[in-house]
Amino acid sequence: MKPYLLIVEDEAALVELLRYNFEKEGFRVTSAADGEAALVAVAEAKPDLVVLDWMLPHVSGLEVARQLRRKSETRDIPIIMLTARGEETDRIRGLEVGADDYVAKPFSPSELVARVRAVLRRSKPSTAQDLLTFGDLVMDLSAHRVLRSGRPIHLGPTEFRLLRFLLERPGRVYSREQLLDAVWGRDIYVEPRTVDVHIRRLRKAINSPGDSDLIRTVRSAGYALDENVDA
């Protein structure tokens, strides 16, 4: 099956350039010229990935990303944001609302194709899998068990849900608010700092002395399951 891509961009010439390149690379492509059309297109047929321009008329790309992440049916669609802004704070804002990657304009179509392929490779199918793995960490959902290098790990229910959520999208950075929504639910009020407490417990449980820390803290943004570079 050809991967199905939704390109959300109001610049018609750029859309046509991207459509040409992605179709040549074996993608099925649909486009939307504004945020509302994008949400309609997603509701009609769920894309495998959305390429989303930041600057759109009416509803901004950031708001579209936020809306996609809010609903359980669209939460797992990978998003790559396009933007003319090269600012680090904008990149972090994009990642905060749940974009999987970020490509600054101007870019070459082949660069975007490569990034799309990388994100698709990384993103797991949304169907429930019994085994979630990351490095030497294994979560067996049917047995409700977690192992690191074969060593059993005991987690509280919240840490279990938190780890499961992170394991489903390794490498992606989540803000405390996103983790609260996903793990605790939107209906209860919990202090964002509570997330830090549970992340600390989770870290303590999964990392033995000598193990690499699998949870990355992204300053002012949040947390990700990642091979640690600068913990």
Residues that bind Ca ion in the complex, under the rule CB under 5 A: 10, 53, 55
Between residues 48 and 53, which has the closer beta carbon with respect to Ca ion? 53
Tokens of 67: 């809306």
The 10 Å CB-count burial string (b at 16+, else e) for 136-175 is: ebbbeeeeeebbbeeeebebeebbbbbbbebbbbbbbbbb
Between residues 104 and 221, which has the closer beta carbon with respect to Ca ion? 104
Between residues 108 and 212, which has the closer beta carbon with respect to Ca ion? 108
Between residues 83 and 207, which has the closer beta carbon with respect to Ca ion? 83
DSSP three-state, residue 164: helix
Between residues 55 and 221, which has the closer beta carbon with respect to Ca ion? 55
How far, in Å, CA of 218 to CA of 231, rounded? Answer: 9
Question: To the nearest whole angstrom, how small is the minimum distance from the Cβ of residue 27 to Ca ion?
Answer: 20
Question: To the nearest whole angstrom, how small is the minimum distance from the Cβ of residue 210 to Ca ion?
Answer: 49
Which residues in 24-173 belong to E strands, given as ranges?
Answer: 28-32, 49-53, 79-83, 101-104, 131-134, 137-140, 145-148, 151-153
Question: To the nearest whole angstrom, how small is the minimum distance from the Cβ of residue 87 to Ca ion?
Answer: 17
Q: What is the DSSP letter of 176?
A: H
Q: Which residues contact 203 (CB under 8 A, 6 or more apart)?
A: 213, 215
Question: To the nearest whole angstrom, how small is the minimum distance from the Cβ of residue 8 to Ca ion?
Answer: 9
How far, in Å, CA of 35 to CA of 60, rounded? Answer: 6
Question: To the nearest whole angstrom, how small is the minimum distance from the Cβ of residue 61 to Ca ion?
Answer: 8
Q: Tell which residue, 173, 154, 162, has the closest CA to residue 226.
A: 173
Between residues 54 and 134, which has the closer beta carbon with respect to Ca ion? 54
For residue 54, how many C-alpha atoms fall within 13 Å in the half-sphere facing its CB?
19
Question: To the nearest whole angstrom, how small is the minimum distance from the Cβ of residue 56 to Ca ion?
Answer: 6
